[in-house]
Amino acid sequence: MSNKLIYILLPLSLVFDVLTETVFEKGGTLAIIKASFYYSIIFYTFIQGFKRRDSVNLVFVIFLFYVAIQIPYAREPIESLKVSLKVLMSILMFPFGYYYINSFKKLQILNSSVIAMMMIYIFNYIISQYYGIGVSVYTNEKEFVVGNLSDNWNIITYILLVVPAILLTTKRKKVLFFLSLILIILLIISLKRIAILGVLVGYSIYIFKSKNVLKSSRIFVLLFLLFFAISPLISPILNKRIESRGDKLSGSVVSILENETRYLETIAVFSEIFSFESTIKVLFGGEAFYSRRNYGDVYFFRDRQIHIDYNLILNTIGVIGFLLYLNVFYYIYRKRNRIKRYIEKNTLFKKLDTIFLMLFFSQFITSFGGQMYVFTFRGIIFIYLGSILGIMYRSIYEEVKSKDLKITSNNFL
């Protein structure tokens, strides 16, 4: 696979996100071009993957097929198809990472592309702020705008979570640190709870797995001191945004939940499931990721798409679909566990495994905030998960082969 393709894969998606609505119409020609480009790569990857003895295609094909057969039976098949294509696009990038970014050199290219993403994101913020492009989601003013990325803060979350991977390959550590600091500041100002929590969970795993609490603590103390030093510059904006989010950030747990639509949607979805009024809908869903007017009090929720990923899955593809979705992650984690004995003996593998675990478990937290139909940040997750496993499996395969040992499916494939 071309190194240039690996390099542009993630930054190009971010560029598409920036241009959508601000330059081009949402859901228009640009969306079709984006979907065509990435699905061309996905289909090529799957065709080539079936020819490999270490194919990882099957579990993804089963999930894809399950979703696909539901689309024609949805109330609005076209809308169901659109959302399903968005959801599946990121998940189906795992085999690409596994097959084609399976060497340290390829990982270096992927890491460089994430640095490019950092610069694109910051540049977009500067331009948006200067020209007043977009609207602040909480105050509906212009004090903090990022163009069309106003609801894409998870991109920052997962850029920051792969920084340890970038540190393995880059010599520009000071530049990386500077860019990361800017993104951390933007994320904090955003006040997006799930996006911030994703970073905290990921780096808690990093500290726990690295077993070097002192070194990690020094980095966090340094970041805190730097943030404290610049706090006078950002405090007016931050205070204004905190005030605008008063009902979401203060008060008792009960009062916060009463003002949280995600909580109300969860009650609506689970009430329907446990009531078993329609066994077919509970088990199979039948709407393939399109949830508008498909849950709770239709008048109350109107045309609101379900936000929490788990609720969306249960409501639209049912309990069976939910189990198949979890099976994808079970397969990925089990594949990692098959080579655990090799990981424990290899210093580089240990570092890669820590990043793997950061991404793997953090995405479960992110799903409480939703947006499983956003490709860019979930593309980072699945491409890196696939790449990390691909690097380790290929390295182990070559080691075993060089020692003329018998390779069987019981070894690690």
Per DSSP, what are the bridge partners of residue 24? Answer: 20
Question: How many other C-beta atoms are found inside a 10 Å radius of the C-beta of residue 305?
Answer: 17
Q: What is the DSSP letter of 20?
A: B
pLDDT at 299: 47
How far is residue 317's CA from residue 264's CA, in Å, rounded to a whole number? 20
**Locate tokens 């705008």: which residue?**
145
**Residues in CB range of 179: below 8 A, 6 or more apart:** 115, 118, 119, 122
Burial of 256 (0-12, 13-18, 19+ CB in 10 A): middle
Instruction: Give every CB contact of residue 353 below 8 A, 6+ residues apart in sequence.
Output: 209, 336, 343, 388, 392
CA–CA separation, 32 and 22 (whole Å): 17
Tell me, what's the pLDDT at 247?
58
Q: How many CA atoms lie within 13 A of 300 on its CB side?
A: 8
Q: How far is CA 96 from CA 214, 227, 385, 409, in A?
A: 37, 38, 10, 21
Residue 328 clears pLDDT 60, i.e. is over it: yes
pLDDT band of 99, cuts 50, 70, 90: very high
* Phi/psi of residue 201, nearest 5 degrees: -65, -45
Is pLDDT above 60 for 123?
yes
The answer, yes or no, to whether residue 413 has pLDDT greater than 70, is: no
Q: Which residue has the tokens 């500290």?
A: 207
**Would the pLDDT of 80 be above 90?**
yes
pLDDT given for residue 224 in this prediction: 74
- The CB-based long-range contact list for 255-261 (8 Å cut-off, 24+ gap) reads 261/304, 261/307
Q: What is the pLDDT of residues 350-396, one digit of tens each?
A: 999 999 999 999 999 999 998 899 999 999 999 999 999 999 999 99
What would the pLDDT profile of 25-37 be if each residue is shown by its tens digit?
A: 566 788 899 999 9
pLDDT at residue 100 greater than cutoff 90? yes
Tokens standing for residue 190 = 């955003």
pLDDT confidence of residue 277 = 81
What is the reported pTM?
Answer: 0.93
* Residue pair 314/287 in contact by the 8 Å Cβ criterion: no
* pLDDT of 213: 67
pLDDT above 80 for 305: yes
Question: Which range is least confidently modeled, 3-7, 246-250, 401-405?
Answer: 246-250
pLDDT of the residue at 410: 46
CA–CA separation, 84 vs 65, rounded Å?
11
**Hey, is 288 helix, strand or coil?**
coil
What would the pLDDT profile of 175-205 be if each residue is shown by its tens digit? 999 999 999 999 999 999 999 999 999 999 9
Spell out the alpha helix ranges (H) of 54-168.
Answer: 58-68, 77-91, 94-100, 104-131, 154-161, 163-167
Closest CA to 80 of 267, 305, 279: 305
pLDDT > 70 fraction of the chain, expressed in percent and rounded = 89
State percent of the chain over pLDDT 90: 61
Asked whether residue 323 carries a pLDDT value surpassing 90, the answer given is yes
DSSP designation for 374 = -
Give the rounded distance of the alpha carbon of 313 from its chain centre.
16
